[in-house]
Amino acid sequence: MSSILTNNSAMVALQTLKSINGNLAKTQDMISTGKEIATAKDNSAIWAISKVMESDVKGFSAVSESLSLGESTVAIANAGAEQITNLLNEMKEKVVAATGENVDHAKITADVDELKNQITSIISASQFNGANLLNTAGGDVTVLSSLDRDAAGAVTAQNITVASVDFEAGLDLTTIDVSSSTAADTSLAAMETLIQTAIDGAATLGASAKRISDQNEFVGKVTDAMKSGIGALVDADMEEASARLQALQVQQQLGVQSLSIANQAPQSILSLFR
């Protein structure tokens, strides 16, 4: 049956063309944004997962900054501890020399006093952004090291605590006396204690610095892996999108032609009235 009021062929062609245009618009959006899933309506489940992962990536970025700050703080303290160890070894040489009878104890005392002052200065100067692990006032340093998400989605912050070695209290430089050979003999044992304290402190700081450095490297790898995971979930396959765009453009042209043919069908009814 032919009708001039209802053109079923045109309606079918129109619906087909609308579907093609919709797919074409989506493909063009994929190409322009580079994402297959750009909004929640594209795929709500995958979009939600990707947003949680993006949030974690931003969190790990802050963790990396915290670790870098902590690494610098510990590195400066470690450098100070190592320098103090070297100065104490130099001071030991002066103490040993002072055990002799035929030496100028006054000049040796002056040298030792200068070394003491230098050590005290290094302890005070070994700070980064106000944090000092070599003096009493500085105290321990807590470094944000990770964000752990459990299966239920709860997030817990993890920290690395770097203990202060407190050379200000641990290194009692007043025990070193080279004013006479007898005093120098007595100071030798105290000198060994000071050196061992400095070595232990430097070793402790070095171990903490290594841990923070390793953790920072790990966080960087985790962040990169998460970015790759997000890309695998939402990024568009540009080769596939390009091929699909070409196919849809051809389908669109054919759809327009099909609709044009369907719209011409009622014209054939005129032939019945000639």
Question: Which residues partner with 158 through β-bridges?
Answer: 146
| Least trusted range by pLDDT, from 10-24, 78-92, 109-123 | 10-24
Which amino acid appears at position 237 of this protein? D
The DSSP 8-state label assigned to residue 102 in this structure reads: S
Task: Report the percent of the chain where pLDDT is more than 90.
Answer: 72
pLDDT of 154 strictly over 80: yes
Long-range contacts, 102-109 (Cβ 8 Å, 24+): 103/181, 105/178, 105/179, 105/180, 105/181, 105/184, 108/178, 109/178, 109/179
Q: How many CB atoms lie within 10 A of CB 138?
A: 20
Please write down the HEC assignment for all residues of 245-259. HHHHHHHHHHHHHHH
Residue count (the chain): 274
The DSSP 8-state label assigned to residue 151 in this structure reads: T
- Residue 140, SS3? coil
| pLDDT of res. 153 | 84
The arithmetic mean of pLDDT across residues 125-141, rounded, is 93
Using pLDDT thresholds of 50, 70 and 90, give the confidence band for residue 119.
Answer: very high
Check residue 61 and give left, alpha or beta (phi > 0: left; psi -120 to 50: alpha): alpha
pLDDT of 106 strictly over 70: yes
pLDDT of 117 strictly over 90: yes
| pLDDT of res. 120 | 95
| pLDDT of res. 261 | 82
Long-range contacts, 153-159 (Cβ 8 Å, 24+): 153/52, 155/59
pLDDT of 3 strictly over 80: no
pLDDT of 223 strictly over 80: yes
Distance CA 16, CA 5 (A): 20
pLDDT of 243 strictly over 80: yes
Its sign, for the CA torsion 16, 21, 22, 23, is: positive
| Residue 60 contacts residue 147 (beta carbons within 8 Å) | yes
Which amino acid appears at position 128 of this protein? F
* Cα→Cα distances 12→3, 7, 17, 216, Å: 15, 9, 9, 61
The arithmetic mean of pLDDT across residues 122-145, rounded, is 94
Q: What is the pLDDT of residues 25-63, one digit of tens each?
A: 888 988 888 898 988 988 999 999 999 999 999 999 999
By the 10 Å C-beta count (0-12 exposed, 13-18 middle, 19+ buried), 195 is classed as: middle
The arithmetic mean of pLDDT across residues 185-214, rounded, is 95
